[in-house]
Structure 1
Amino acid sequence: MIGIDYSNMMEEVIGINGISDLSIKNISSQIENAYNMIANREWKQLEFIDLPSQDTAEIKKIARYIRKSADNFLLLGIGGSALGPRAIIEALSPFHNLKKKPRVFIYDNVDPRTLKSIFTVIDLKKTFINVISKSGSTAETAASFLILWDKMKRALGKEAFRRFIITTDPEKGNLRKIANDEKILSLPVPPNVGGRYSVLSPVGLLTTEVIGINCNELLEGASSIKSICLKNDVYKNPALLFAVLLFLMDKEKNRHINVMVPYMDSLKFLSEWFCQLWAESLGKGNKGLTPYPSLGTTDQHSQLQLWMEGPQDKVVFFIKVNNFGTDIKIPAVFRNIEGYNYLPGHTLKELINSEQEATELALTKAGRPNFTINVPEINAYYLGQLFFFFEMATAFAGALLGVNPFDQPGVEEGKNLTYGMMGKKGFEDKKKEVYEYRKRKGKWKI
């Protein structure tokens, strides 16, 4: 089971920059209220809590067909629809495309160079395409889908529909209509599960199966921590504790930047996934906590200086993996070089763990708050635990901050302006706004 060591957040360890048990006690009523909001399902979008018990038979059936029939699997989606699957691939099979088929490609950002590059390395006739959009109206995914549908129709004619899988709302939206009309295979995103909370739905599970990982192991991991993340005791509920620690650091110490530092390459994209979850869920009404992705030991050589001596506005939390599943011994060569002769006899695991502990201690000595999430190992089971843990922590944090962690009102204006610029019916006023903006924009420039 994953666990949290938060010793280096406490006042008696790091001094005035820390919090105390009294700090936690003083907000006990807020903690209780936040807990009740989640436990009592005050928001209908808390349906993600039920995902660990879903039936995966249809997902597995479709994935078997893809593995048997395809050389390539191209995923079209953005936000949680891409970040979740990418985090799974990088954590569980980071060099998948060099080892086995189908190769997996994720096209999220609508950069034409990227899509053109994908076209140079895949044969569409041997490719399956998973189109993911909960709403079915996401502009980036819609544009990508239109391009791929046209190309696939040109390549395969009337059989093109057989190469698509649409993952969307089970009842409504443009993609649902197209799936029904064109007889395209489809998988549902549960109506009350938002995109950034959907990694443990078909959004992430189909890709998991396509790369040859049993998606039930992800769900089993999530299920194993579910009851713990629903305990009404901040000292026994790691998700609630995580939210409380970062809430208190913001409230009492004005530390609103949360730096996530996994000490394992394969968890780099878990940080990217977490950043969307944390930022889009909590940044509302001039409130919020700012996530910052990092990677140990890499960013000790780029960001650590800032954490140590920069503004007192950060909390660093490490993800430490106890079992890497392998290790490599450092050989006894060039022992005559004084700067190298301390390394032989040790292993890479020893070195990376030493670097993590050294960074932790250095921050602690400098009075900089930090804590560690300990993970036994990285496999589908523990990755499922991490996904569910962070989703629950985000829901608790939203309740503590007094914001709705399931909407994104600040994103809508940008979408509407884009619709106006692209000529979508009903957004003519937004197009006018853009024209007026462009007139003003060039006044100050060099």
Structure 2
Amino acid sequence: GDELFRQFGFTPEAVTQRVLAALAFRRPTPLAAVGGFAADAAAEAAREQLQREALPRLLARDCRLWGEAHAATVAQRLGWLDLPARSRHELPQLAGLVNRWAAGGLNTLVLLGMGGSSLAPQVLREMGGSPSGRELLLLDTTDPVRVNGALESLDPAKTAVLSVSKSGTTVETASLLEIFWDRWTKSGLPQPGAHFAALTEPQTPLAQLARERQFAAVLPHPVDVGGRFSALSAVGLLPALWLGLPTEELLQQAANTLAPHTHHPALELAAALAAASRDGWGRLVLWPEARFRPFALWLEQLVAESTGKDGKGLLPVAPPSPVGLDQLPATLHLGLGTAQPPFPGLAWPVDAHRLGEAFAFWELTTALSGYLLGVNPFDEPNVGEAKRQARAALSQGVPELSPTPQAEQRLAGFLEACSREEAVVFCAYLPETPEVARALDELTASWQEKLQTTVSWTFGPRYLHSTGQLHKGGPKKLFCVVLTAPNPSDLPIPGQPHSLGQLRLAQALGDVAALSACGQRVLHLHLPEGSRELVFQLKP
């Protein structure tokens, strides 16, 4: 009787506890206010508007939610809403490819991709680890130093290569693919194509090339999902399967998050971001616990590229320290994971094992933030200008640059006018080494302390597929500093008249021209060899 039920855990208390636990699993992780933060009347009104009007229309895939002018574009970009269910059907095919490669003795997967094609896999690798014991190497660069280092460390006989490009024309990915294909075909492999796969939309140049070269697989990128919203497609799932992560669990977490919920925390966060912004300009200052740092990079691209247009935008920044950032205007502070912001703000204590929820939560938050800002979060209208300028630089012949004279004084004079309502971004086309990264960390921390505003850095050309859209399409609130230097080494690109290093310099020069053309403040400093030491000299 009652005693037997008790022994088997069927007491009313135990059953209630299990039901509450199951409900908690299905509900998105709530936000927590920190340091006396409270939503003001504007934020509360925005949240109610989202609950009443925007969220139901979004979940119903109403492409007119962001305005009639954008309806046609948006209609082709809402596939992420049901992607968890659709992606389940692709898991057997993806697992089959992973199993074939593993059975053939391959233990390393190199992923070639830019922006959303590589940032979500990076999150999965660095936060999820590799229960399978296999390696995942991500290359999202045209830096010859980093690419050379990867080539020297890899054994083609034990390495698979995945080329990811939604359009099939991404210049960085195409260049890297030619370099790897050339190296693998010259390594003596009897069937080099069996070590390669492509992930792209149907009928793209990449898909055609993959079939001609008899790649192991040509995987479809969903045509109704933009790259930065593709984490829960094969873009994220194939690397997850390679690493041995629980893909079914990832998809279920995401599906739960995208289901209708009363008082969804994504509405609260979108409303808080809109309320914190001024005239369409705002900063999301992120304070992640250590293991959430790669997630902050993925989030940076999603939010900046989605909102940074039409003279508006939200700039995510993960600062090195809180020095100088108290009471910043147009700013919302947010803690990620177990971390809490050092100033009044919000904390989102999501568990690091709930990455499916994390991806879906931020996709939903970003789409709703775009609605409140009055921008289309699914296009990137200003990205093409930097590409056009880079192609022009290549066609004219990339010049040999001389070091910028008095670089320290020029930088100090350029940043002198920066106010606390504005932000500084260092765009570094320098060797992507840990030593240079540490020097850039110190550089940004010192200028943040001096200017009392957000100062960040990023390697180029990675940022062109991340915050680059906001740099050119967002508010004129940025001071952009582009750093270049001679390449210590270089690599030819098979079939191209230019080298990888020349392509990278052309991308830097193209972005300087694009930033100038759009009216953003930009300073280009070309440093001599020995970038690490010279970066230190740029400190105030």
- Fold in common (TM above 0.5): yes
Q: Please tell me the residue identity of whatever aligns with 1:315.
A: L
- The aligned counterpart of 1:204 is 236
- The aligned counterpart of 1:239 is 266
**Cα deviations by residue, 1:195-244 (Å, 9 ceiling, x for unpaired):** 111111111111111111122221111112121xx44x5xx112222111
- The aligned counterpart of 2:291 is 266
1:275 pairs with one of 300, 303, 321: 300
**Cα deviations by residue, 1:234-267 (Å, 9 ceiling, x for unpaired):** xx11222211111111148x8711012222x221
For 1:248 and 1:398, how far apart are their aligned partners in 2? 13
- The aligned counterpart of 1:335 is none
Deviates more, 1:26-35 or 1:178-187: 26-35
2:370 pairs with one of 374, 398, 401: 398
- The aligned counterpart of 1:181 is 212
- The aligned counterpart of 1:5 is 31
- The aligned counterpart of 1:67 is 102
For 2:525 and 2:162, how far apart are their aligned partners in 1? 43
For 2:78 and 2:55, how far apart are their aligned partners in 1? 13
How has the CA–CA distance of structure 1 residues 26 and 107 changed in structure 2, closer, same or farther, with 3 Å as cutoff? closer
Residues 278 and 330, structure 2, Cα contact 8 Å, conserved in 1: no
How far the C-alpha of 1:166 sits from its partner, in A, is 0.5
Q: Please tell me the residue identity of whatever aligns with 1:249.
A: A
Residues 281 and 313, structure 2, Cα contact 8 Å, conserved in 1: no
SS at match of 1:199: coil
SS at match of 1:406: coil
TM-score, normalised by the number of residues in structure 1: 0.75
**Cα deviations by residue, 1:103-142 (Å, 9 ceiling, x for unpaired):** 2211111101111101221111211001000001000000
Matches within 5 A, 1:330-345: none
Q: Does 1:385 align with 2:360?
A: no
How far the C-alpha of 1:179 sits from its partner, in A, is 2.2
- The aligned counterpart of 2:435 is none
SS at match of 1:306: coil
For 1:260 and 1:4, how far apart are their aligned partners in 2? 17
Q: How many residues were matched structurally? A: 366
Matches within 5 A, 1:23-422: 23-25=43-45, 28-29=48-49, 32-41=52-61, 42=63, 43-44=74-75, 45-53=77-85, 54=87, 55=89, 56-68=91-103, 69-93=105-129, 96=130, 101-156=133-188, 159-169=191-201, 171-184=202-215, 185-227=217-259, 230-231=260-261, 236-251=263-278, 256-263=282-289, 265-294=290-319, 302-308=320-326, 311-321=328-338, 356=339, 360=342, 363-364=343-344, 370-375=345-350, 377-379=351-353, 382-422=354-394
**Cα deviations by residue, 1:172-214 (Å, 9 ceiling, x for unpaired):** 2111111233332121110011111111111111111111112
How has the CA–CA distance of structure 1 residues 223 and 23 changed in structure 2, closer, same or farther, with 3 Å as cutoff? closer
SS at match of 1:4: coil
How far the C-alpha of 1:19 sits from its partner, in A, is 3.7
Residues 306 and 366, structure 2, Cα contact 8 Å, conserved in 1: yes
For 2:316 and 2:47, how far apart are their aligned partners in 1? 23
For 2:183 and 2:156, how far apart are their aligned partners in 1? 8
How has the CA–CA distance of structure 1 residues 3 and 27 changed in structure 2, closer, same or farther, with 3 Å as cutoff? closer
How far the C-alpha of 1:8 sits from its partner, in A, is 4.3
For 1:272 and 1:125, how far apart are their aligned partners in 2? 32
How far the C-alpha of 1:63 sits from its partner, in A, is 1.4
- The aligned counterpart of 1:334 is none
Deviates more, 1:181-190 or 1:111-120: 181-190
Residues 70 and 101, structure 1, Cα contact 8 Å, conserved in 2: no
Greater percentage in helix: 1
Runs of 4+ in 1 over 6 A off after TM superposition: 443-446
Q: Please tell me the residue identity of whatever aligns with 1:177.
A: Q
**What RMSD, in angstroms, separates the aligned Cα atoms of the two structures?**
3.1
Q: Please tell me the residue identity of whatever aligns with 1:237.
A: H
- The aligned counterpart of 1:344 is none
For 1:445 and 1:391, how far apart are their aligned partners in 2? 36
How far the C-alpha of 1:404 sits from its partner, in A, is 1.0
SS at match of 1:409: coil
For 1:167 and 1:83, how far apart are their aligned partners in 2? 15
Q: Please tell me the residue identity of whatever aligns with 1:197.
A: F
SS at match of 2:284: strand
How far the C-alpha of 1:3 sits from its partner, in A, is 2.4
Residues 34 and 400, structure 1, Cα contact 8 Å, conserved in 2: no
How far the C-alpha of 1:33 sits from its partner, in A, is 4.5
For 1:112 and 1:200, how far apart are their aligned partners in 2? 31
Residues 167 and 203, structure 1, Cα contact 8 Å, conserved in 2: yes
For 2:311 and 2:524, how far apart are their aligned partners in 1? 28
**Cα deviations by residue, 1:337-377 (Å, 9 ceiling, x for unpaired):** xxxxxxxxxxxxxxxxxxx45x55xx23xxxxx001122x3
Residues 242 and 393, structure 1, Cα contact 8 Å, conserved in 2: yes
Q: Please tell me the residue identity of whatever aligns with 2:96.
A: K
Residues 337 and 352, structure 2, Cα contact 8 Å, conserved in 1: no
**Cα deviations by residue, 1:143-198 (Å, 9 ceiling, x for unpaired):** 000111111111245511100010111x2211111123333212111001111111
TM-score, normalised by the number of residues in structure 2: 0.62
The unaligned stretches of length 5 or more in structure 1 are: 295-301, 322-355, 365-369
How far the C-alpha of 1:406 sits from its partner, in A, is 0.9
How has the CA–CA distance of structure 1 residues 444 and 29 changed in structure 2, closer, same or farther, with 3 Å as cutoff? closer
SS at match of 2:296: helix
How has the CA–CA distance of structure 1 residues 259 and 22 changed in structure 2, closer, same or farther, with 3 Å as cutoff? closer
How far the C-alpha of 1:71 sits from its partner, in A, is 2.7
For 1:388 and 1:23, how far apart are their aligned partners in 2? 22
- The aligned counterpart of 1:350 is none
**Cα deviations by residue, 1:250-297 (Å, 9 ceiling, x for unpaired):** 148x8711012222x221100000000000000000011111125xxx
